[in-house]
Amino acid sequence: MSEPEQSQCKSLLIFLSDFVDGNLSEELCQEIECHTAECEHCRIVVDTLRKTITLYHECADEPAEISDELRSHLFKTLNLEDYMEK
Amino acid sequence: MDKSKAEISIEALRVGDRREFARLVDAYSGPLYRLALKMLGNATDAEDALQNTFLKAFQHVDQFEGRSSLSTWLYRIASNEALMQLRKRRPETTFSDISVEDDEEQNYDPVQLTDWPSLPEEELLSAEARTMLDHAIEHLPEKLRIVFVLRDIEDLSIQETSQVLGLSETAVKTRLLRARLRLREELSSYYGDRLIKRSKK
């Protein structure tokens, strides 16, 4: 990787979160896309960053539930047992 | 969050309607417990944090002004509870930890450059990989961890995350990027090894 490329890699780094979230201006998106088409290093960083976030999203998509045991304990501690629906 | 139960009446809570409190607990205990678990890394501490969150919410519901949503308000109490527990765990090391976390000069440049997203989904989300994903979050400094959990696990927006934590949106974005880059390094190291093992088969 040449030095000018390296400095471009560094300057694009701060935009990566917004880029993978789709919150970046069209102009900056194009700039990143042009750069990653040429720079394998940054192409991998973008792909793996995106996949990192996707994997956590996929795990979080599973319903967040507490066990029946914890629920009973919680209602008891909060003195709400009389209002606990089955 | 259970959307069907999410329409909680603030007025009912304010006048001490216990049935409404019970609905609040059922609607929010799942996501608030997950937040505490991801922050604290063990079930007992997460249960304590969840319980304290609701106790504080009940005690202070009259102070809820409605400037943010009920959900944001609860996330704020839960985040504070989790952060407080973390600080209690290691008071003697807090200062040095904060120094490290606040180090703006810390290097976040990508190091690991394995192209692992091509691994099959069953390998990316195997039971072992899921444990690694949880451990990777636990390795984040707490200031980055809370931002990542709120934004990428609980799916709050940048604006909501900034309201929960009392931070500027710019600060949230900076911490989020750092958290994501650090996690990318950890995941790349783990999945890179998987990739090598597969190629040797």
B76 and B6 both lie in a single domain: yes
Over residues B33-69, the pLDDT tens digits come to 999 999 999 999 999 999 999 999 999 998 888 888 9
Contact B55 A80 (CB under 8 A): no
B118 and B31 both lie in a single domain: no
CB burial readout A58-73, b (16+ within 10 A) else e:
eebeeebebeeebbee
Question: Residue B96: what pLDDT?
Answer: 45
H or E element in which residue B133 lies:
helix B127-138
Mean pLDDT by 10 residues, chain B (201 residues): 66 93 95 96 95 96 87 96 90 50 66 93 95 96 96 96 97 96 97 91 74
Question: Residue A6: what pLDDT?
Answer: 72
A14 in contact with chain B, both atoms CB, cutoff 8 A: yes
CB burial readout A1-22, b (16+ within 10 A) else e:
eeeeeeebbeebbebbbbbbbe
Q: Which residues of A touch B33 (CB under 8 A)?
A: 64, 66, 70
ipTM of predicted assembly, 2 dp: 0.91
Asked if residues B119 and B195 have their Cβ atoms less than 8 Å apart, the reply is: yes
Q: Is residue B100 part of a domain?
A: no
Q: B37 lies in which domain range?
A: 1-89
Q: What residues contact residue B60 under an 8 Å CB cut-off, 6+ apart?
A: B77
Question: Residue A63: what pLDDT?
Answer: 77
Read off the pTM.
0.91
Delimit the domains of chain A by residue range.
Answer: 3-83
Question: Residue A22: what pLDDT?
Answer: 94
Q: Is residue B96 part of a domain?
A: no
Q: What's the token pair of residue A10?
A: 């560094």
User: Going along chain B, which residue ranges are E strands?
Assistant: none
Distance of CA B161 to CAs A61, B70, B151, B158, Å?
19, 14, 6, 5
Nearest CA in chain B to A74: B51
Contact A10 B109 (CB under 8 A): yes
User: Which among A14, A36, A51, A67 is the top mutation candidate for probing chain B, defined by the most B β-carbons within 10 Å of its own β-carbon?
Assistant: A51
Over residues A31-53, the pLDDT tens digits come to 999 999 999 999 999 999 999 99
Total domain count for chain B? 2
Question: Residue B67: what pLDDT?
Answer: 82
Q: What residues contact residue A27 under an 8 Å CB cut-off, 6+ apart?
A: none
Q: Residue B30 is nearest to which of A14, A47, A66, comparing CB atoms?
A: A66
